[in-house]
Amino acid sequence: MEGTESRSGTSSSVVADWSLVFWTLCSVILPVLITLWCSFQRSRRQVLIRDIFRKSKHDWHYTDLFGQPSYCCVCAQHILQGAFCNCCGLRVSEGCLKKADQLFLCKEIMMRSNGGAHSSMPHHWIRGNVPLCSCCMICKQQCGTQPKLCDYRCVWCQYTVHDECMMDCLKTEECTFGEFRDLIIPPYYLSTINQMRKDKRTNYEKVVPYCRKHWMPIIILANTRSGNNMGETLLGEFKILLNPVQVFDLSKTAPAKALQLCTLLPCNAVRVLVCGGDGTVGWVLDAIDEMKIKGQERYIPQVAILPLGTGNDLSNTLGWGAGYAGEVPVEQILRNVMEADGIKLDRWKVQVTNKGYYNLRKPKVFTMNNYFSIGPDALMALNFHAHREKTPSLFSSRIINKAVYFFYGTKDCLVQECKDLNKKVELELDGERIELPNLEGIIVLNIGYWGGGCRLWEGMGDEPYPLARHDDGLLEVVGVHGSFHCAQIQVKLANPVRLGQAHTVRLILKSSKMPMQVDGEPWAQGPCTVTITHKTHALMLYHSGEQTDDEASSMSEQDHVREQTDEDV
């Protein structure tokens, strides 16, 4: 009996052990299987969504969380995540995506030809998800106030209408294209131009839409790699307000190709808005120079800037601000472009000829819009550029970029790698040799701002000096004693060493290797001759908005200098 009991006890303990092992394995393996199944389903779902996105005429983008209360345009249910069209503004849940693609048309960039010419088009209404604080065009009351899919919005003129105010006549009424009609390229214009090209006619000036005299179509060129990923957001917002054919992503389409749209538009009428840093602006201006070489001078556009870079000195000089972070609505940006005044910007040729190669090596040639420098600021730019090339993901914030510049500036204050520059270089202004004091850096300026917002030529503004302009064919040449001196100038505690103004600047580096930069593009340069001469003018747009305190004080100081000069005369 005792043996039997012991054997039964042993078997029951074995069963218990195996049961424990089984449930332990289940508790470990089951979550893993569930995770793998969910991952498989998610990847399969993403493949299906990407396939729909690729085949669709809508510009779909997926988001995990909408920025405002949203409702599916198909099932009318409230949704937190789903897909939205960057062009027409449709919002749908993931399950209704395929159906929405079949039910709703997106913005047409060009009207379908029905055998005749068009000079107008009806409204294109989309139901629901109207902009916040929009008003009905009929009763003038606020739209979108009910917590459901309600009210209509035209994807072209952006007018909104209540459900109860929507009448049959509105569905066939001619669209006026709203506030930005002077900037929009209508679909029927492009269809007419397409027909004229088939007929080999090029008198596009006769096909001005709306019969308007002040039509100034705009082209948006956005660099999505500039700034804190603002370019991607701006592309969508501009596509909503304009014809999507007017909006280009420079990471996918080169400026030279995008600017060919100007040749299909009236002469001297196009405006270009460049969304990016000063480097992006230089890239676009180089493409415009190529248009001149091709004999397309009459199609040259005027250029405005939306600053997304780190320094943005050219943008600051032309009144567009030191940086954009979404604080100004896109609608106001377009208004500013419409109201901006045309001016000219000098562009300069910088030729660097190496010594010691018997002129067998071709000289390096750059185009300068902002400034050229040799010394501590070029060294900071060179160190920054080298580290950004190694780890580009760390340099996606404007604040971090400036902090890195500050670090290298502080380091140079201690090391002084560029000292005794006056013994290593010779400077000529319009052929006249300039005796240099003890310096660490020389900066040649074309614009008013330098170093991320400093008015270098003016300094503290307590000394009389010739006025600096960016369209007078003159360069301003200054010297600095080092990184600490640069920092003092930026906070208006010191003046630069003003070496003079000139139409042509020649700098000879006699010995050693020194850092140089042109518009933020740095390199280490051995013995050479640098010659800066005038190249051409660029047509820019100047925004005369509200002045900052620094700008106001600088203008008042310049006016005071003018008055003193007049009294002396």
The least confident of 222-231, 392-401, 447-456 is: 392-401
More confident residue, 499 or 167: 499
Percent of the chain with pLDDT over 90: 41
Inform me whether the pLDDT recorded for 558 exceeds 90.
no
pLDDT band at 412; cut points 50, 70, 90? low
Query: What are 65's two structure tokens?
Result: 């969380």
Give tens-digit pLDDT for 132-151: 889 999 999 999 888 899 99
Main-chain phi, psi angles of 475, to 5 degrees: -110, 145
Percent of the chain with pLDDT over 70: 82
Give tens-digit pLDDT for 530-553: 999 999 999 999 998 754 444 444
pLDDT of residue 228: 62
Count CA atoms closer than 13 A to 162's CA, side-chain side: 12
Inform me whether the pLDDT recorded for 208 exceeds 80.
no
pLDDT of residue 563: 43
With 0-12 / 13-18 / 19 or more C-beta atoms within 10 angstroms meaning exposed / middle / buried, residue 262 is: buried
Secondary structure of 448-470 in HEC code, one letter for each residue: CCECCCECCCCCCCCCCCCCCCC
Give tens-digit pLDDT for 279-296: 899 999 999 999 999 989
pLDDT of residue 405: 57
Residues 466 and 501: beta-carbon distance below 8 Å: yes
Q: What is d(CA 569, CA 552) in angstroms, rounded to the nearest whole number? A: 26
pLDDT of residue 453: 78
Return mean pLDDT, the chain.
Answer: 83
Give tens-digit pLDDT for 234-248: 999 999 999 999 999
More confident residue, 475 or 419: 475
Q: What architecture is domain 120-178?
A: 2-Layer Sandwich (3.30)
Q: What integer is the mean pLDDT of 434-457?
A: 89
Give tens-digit pLDDT for 482-521: 878 888 888 888 889 999 999 999 999 988 889 999 988 8
Q: What integer is the mean pLDDT of 165-180?
A: 85
Count CA atoms closer than 13 A to 33's CA, side-chain side: 6
pLDDT of residue 406: 60
pLDDT of residue 355: 82
Between CA 81 and CA 86, with CA 83 as vertex, the angle to 5 degrees is 130
pLDDT of residue 360: 67
pLDDT of residue 432: 93
- The domain 183-339: what is its CATH number? 3.40.50
More confident residue, 333 or 28: 333
Query: What are 520's two structure tokens?
Result: 């933020």
Alpha helices in 229-270 (DSSP H): 230-241, 255-258
Angle between helix axes 230-241 and 330-339 (nearest 10 degrees) is 70
Amino acid in the structure at residue 316: N
pLDDT of residue 468: 84
Q: What architecture is domain 347-535?
A: Sandwich (2.60)
Give tens-digit pLDDT for 51-79: 777 888 899 988 888 988 899 999 999 99
Inform me whether the pLDDT recorded for 564 exceeds 50.
no
pTM comes to 0.84
Inform me whether the pLDDT recorded for 23 exceeds 50.
yes
All structural domains of the chain with their residue ranges: 50-106, 120-178, 183-339, 347-535
Domains 50-106 and 120-178 share a fold: yes
Q: What integer is the mean pLDDT of 152-174?
A: 88
pLDDT of residue 192: 82
Inform me whether the pLDDT recorded for 6 exceeds 60.
no
pLDDT of residue 486: 82
CATH for 50-106 (1.10.260.40, 3.30.1600.10, 3.30.60.20, 3.30.930.10): 3.30.60.20
More confident residue, 451 or 176: 176
Largest CA distance in the chain: 132
Inform me whether the pLDDT recorded for 395 exceeds 90.
no
Main-chain phi, psi angles of 214, to 5 degrees: -110, 35
